[in-house]
Amino acid sequence: MPQSDPDSVAREALRLIGPDPQNWVPEREAIDHNVVVVGGGQSGSAFAFALRRAGIGKVSVIDAAADGAKAGVWLTSARMHKLRTPKTLPGPELGLPGLGFQAWYEARHGAAAYDALDRIPRLDWAAYLDWYRRVTGVAVRYGTRLVRIEPADGHLRLHLERNGAAVIETTRKLVLATGFAGSGGASVPEVLQGLPKRFYAHTSEAIDFRSLRGRSVAVIGSAASAFDAAAVALEAGARDVHLFARRETLASLPVIRIRGYPGAYDNYGALPDAVRWQQAIRFRQAGSTPPPDAISRAVSFPNFHLHLGAPWTSARLQGVRPVAVTIHGEFSFDFAVAGTGYAVSLGAQNELGDFADEILLWRDRFAPPADERDETLAGYPYLGSGHEYLERVPGRAPYLKDIHVFNPAAFVSFGLPVGDVPSFKRDIPAVVARISRDLFLADLASHEARINGTIAEDFAPELYASAIWRPPQHAAAE
């Protein structure tokens, strides 16, 4: 049974921390925003709340989704039954338990129901985030897409598309809380790209799985999203699903789970470049594996078939159906789903087009040993301690420090995962602190006048005059 109203729990948590600080950032003529956060999902919402609690006003959150319920991935491209992360990880509540998932869930269903959860159900997480935005007062401007970032004199001009109309707004700081799609887009194998688009989709896309009923489906990839897509296709009535993996086994190589080791994870950005690079290499070699429940969900269907060590070598149309060629032979199918992850390619992000080649990359900063070279990792941005872009050529693009990255492009600089719940506790306060510092120092003259101004009298001397001790008159005469 529910024990309380979640709104009441949240209101009490907010009451106990006191009112939000007043906006201390001085106004600047012709600047619309102090900070614009791109992405209204879990990360963007948490940033908006954290910035407000830091006394930074004029913060705007934008999201390309037309419908607020569709912001983020939880009701669109996420297809798992449960989140991958432990339910106990701190999330967007940012240290306020009354705003956390546990408080919300227990208020609705009771403590025993929460204790019975092994991991958080995806649909419950989506509902919780909707509640979080409402009780914290985070406003998201939906239907607003960032098209281009134009450097200007001391600020950034944002070219936006708002409900189909082009508009320009200005901001001093920008946070890219754009998720996996915001660092280079979906990675689609070349072998698929040779087919007409109607025959394939990436797991990041909206897929009408109902249309696959009675049809043969091929899935490329062996990580969680690939198994999720295979299971949804089977649940929708696909005739059969063949999942093709390049790997010889689904088991992961043993690696240290950095996020479970706070000393290493919390201080990851301070590690020497060589150590961070070695960790990135290790994670790349280990690969991303699906959780056991994702495998079981697909394997429970007798018409699910797993091909290990079977990358596609080619694909072609044969009559009206595509045919894939692998080491296991030729397979015809009606539709293919690419569960092949995402690329990190700053040049592929249209909004960065004006200056992508000015951004410092790992290849510009670090030369690994010959046996640790990796061109994919070398293309990741080398970020500053506040997740900000750095200049490849010092002095040529100073505006880059005002763009803060909170998506998987931060992987090599800060480890896994960035932009997901495990990184909230560590990274959001660090980014907000850097934004606060930069904004404060940029207007230091204005703040000095306020700091060094006349101090108002708290009370009159009469308040304590009667208690002032004075020596007796005869003692003074002697």
Give me the CATH number covering residue 125. 3.50.50.60
Q: What is the pLDDT of residue 15?
A: 94
Q: What is the pLDDT of residue 148?
A: 97
Is 345 within the bounds of a domain?
Answer: no
Q: Are residues 122 and 201 in the same domain?
A: no
Q: Are residues 31 and 106 in the same domain?
A: yes
Q: What is the pLDDT of residue 110?
A: 94
pTM, entire model? 0.91
Is 362 within the bounds of a domain?
Answer: no
* Dihedral sign for Cα atoms in the order 121, 431, 175, 368: negative
Q: What is the pLDDT of residue 257?
A: 60
Q: Are residues 160 and 195 in the same domain?
A: no
Q: Are residues 152 and 221 in the same domain?
A: no
- Among 338, 356, 378, the domain boundary falls at 338
Is 392 within the bounds of a domain?
Answer: no
Q: What residues of the chain score a pLDDT lower than 50?
A: 1, 255-256
Q: What is the pLDDT of residue 471?
A: 86
Burial of 292 (0-12, 13-18, 19+ CB in 10 A): exposed
Is 296 within the bounds of a domain?
Answer: yes
Is 378 within the bounds of a domain?
Answer: no
Cα distance between residue 22 and residue 165, in whole Å: 33
Residue 264 and residue 357 in contact, taking contact as beta carbons nearer than 8 Å: no
Is 350 within the bounds of a domain?
Answer: no
DSSP letters along 306-327, please? EESS----EEEEETTEEEEEET
Q: Are residues 160 and 126 in the same domain?
A: yes
Structural domains of the chain, count: 2
pLDDT tens digits, one per residue of 62-109? 999 987 666 678 988 899 999 988 999 999 999 999 999 999 999 999
Q: Are residues 172 and 194 in the same domain?
A: no
What's the domain range around 318?
190-252+287-338
Is 185 within the bounds of a domain?
Answer: no
What SS3 state is found at 21? coil
